């Protein structure tokens, strides 16, 4: 699974901005997918990660690759438009488990292109750039040549199209665009409103702890990979309202040194928990390391554990925000909190 972690991390590090122009959208969806009639033909044109995407009518047989894309589709009530899915990092969110169970799983990782085509997709939606690379289902141009539309998350685009600094608004923009492609814009607005409210509630929990500095430790022990200025970790920290102790480093994630960690003396340490790199192992490393165990955040056990799946751009971002805010709010009060 560490291979998956590396792949996902690399993929996240090629996030890109999204330049969008929806030229026409028509749809009549309600909030209840079970009673929603199919929207009328709705040509949509947009530029996604530098790739022009034109959808003549809402897709009927989409395939999702990667967890964030799959869960955005499910959160929008679009399971009945999914001809297949692949490559989860974690169990599907409980509220979407029943709908997910009805979607064919093409592969535990990326399916072979032949396997993808067997599902007869009319659209492929992925979260990470690798999905359309050599290890994935092939490049977007080739799929377009087969009449298959594609969409890639802004947090997974090539570097040259990457947002200067990923924000929650970029995630919301993705939700809106996907909803536009599938002709269900009302569902996007409802979902976004709910997520905004939850984020605001979470941020309010930390009260006077907004000056706390946070180290986001993603992976690595020799040279720790930490949340830098411009990726998902910083997006979550910013949404909570706490400081990123390595916010001056470029990129979404950056390798640094433990000496730098000691120098910056974070007030809280986020331990990203993944099946291939458990938070418990990170905690044990810190508490046993002779040069780190006396660091105040380590000595006082000021750790916040966040599941890896809650750190990728998607509907789980709100879970990452809530976990970090709750963890900070539960710290003992004090000037150095």
| pTM of this prediction exceeds 0.75 | yes
Q: What pLDDT digit, counting tens, does each position of 189-220 carry?
A: 999 999 999 999 999 998 877 789 999 999 99
Mapping DSSP to helix (H, G, I), strand (E, B) and coil, where does residue 219 land? strand
Let me know: does 77 contact 184? Beta carbons within 8 Å: yes
Q: Which of 97-101, 210-214, 288-292 has the lowest mean pLDDT?
A: 210-214
3-state secondary structure 281-325: HHHHHHHHCCCCCCCHHHHCCCEEEEEHHHHCCCCCHHHHHHHHH
C-beta atoms surrounding 285 within 10 Å: 16
| pLDDT over 50 (residue 5) | no
* pLDDT at position 285: 98
The CA–CA distances, whole Å, from 73 to 143, 182, 220 equal 20, 10, 32
CA 24 – CA 10 distance, rounded (Å): 35
What local confidence, expressed as pLDDT, does residue 34 receive?
A: 40
How far is residue 130's CA from residue 132's CA, in Å, rounded to a whole number? 5
Q: Report the C-alpha gap between 322 and 126 in whole angstroms.
A: 25
Q: How far apart are CA 36 and CA 91, in angstroms?
A: 27
- What value does the mean pLDDT take over residues 102-122? 97
Is the model's pLDDT at 4 over the cut of 80? no
**Mean pLDDT, the chain, as a whole number?**
88
CA-based max dimension of the chain: 65
pLDDT 10s digits, 116-168: 999 999 999 999 999 999 999 999 999 999 999 999 999 999 989 989 999 99
């Amino acid at each position: 699974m560490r291979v998956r972690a590396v792949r996902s991390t690399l993929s996240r590090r090629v996030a890109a901005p999204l330049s969008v122009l929806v030229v026409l959208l028509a749809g009549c969806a309600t909030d209840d997918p079970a009673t929603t009639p199919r929207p009328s033909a709705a040509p949509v044109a947009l530029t996604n990660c530098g790739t022009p995407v034109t959808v003549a009518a809402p897709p009927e047989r989409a395939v999702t690759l990667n967890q964030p894309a799959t869960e955005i589709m499910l959160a929008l009530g679009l399971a009945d438009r999914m001809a297949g899915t692949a490559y989860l990092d974690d169990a599907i969110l409980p509220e979407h488990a029943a709908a997910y169970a009805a979607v064919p799983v093409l592969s535990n990782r990326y399916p072979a292109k032949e396997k993808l085509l067997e599902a007869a997709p009319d659209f492929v939606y992925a979260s990470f750039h690798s999905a359309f690379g050599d290890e994935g289902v092939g490049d977007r141009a080739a799929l377009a040549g087969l009449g298959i539309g594609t969409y890639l998350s802004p947090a997974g685009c090539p570097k040259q199209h990457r947002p200067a600094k990923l924000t929650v608004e970029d995630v919301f923009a993705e939700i809106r665009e996907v909803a536009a492609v599938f002709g269900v814009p009302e569902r996007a607005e409802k979902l976004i409103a709910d997520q905004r409210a939850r984020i605001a509630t979470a941020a309010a929990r930390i009260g006077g702890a907004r000056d706390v500095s946070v180290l986001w430790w993603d992976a690595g022990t020799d040279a720790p990979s930490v949340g830098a200025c411009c990726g998902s970790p910083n997006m979550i920290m910013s949404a909570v309202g706490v400081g990123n102790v390595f916010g001056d480093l470029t990129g979404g994630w950056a390798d640094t040194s433990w000496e730098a960690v000691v120098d910056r003396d974070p007030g809280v340490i986020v331990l990203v928990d993944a099946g291939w790199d458990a938070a418990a192992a990170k905690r044990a490393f810190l508490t046993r390391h002779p040069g780190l165990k006396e660091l105040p955040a380590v000595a006082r056990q000021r750790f916040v554990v966040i599941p890896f799946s809650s750190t990728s751009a998607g509907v789980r971002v709100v879970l990452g925000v809530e976990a970090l805010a709750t963890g900070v709010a539960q710290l003992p009060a004090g000037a150095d909190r």
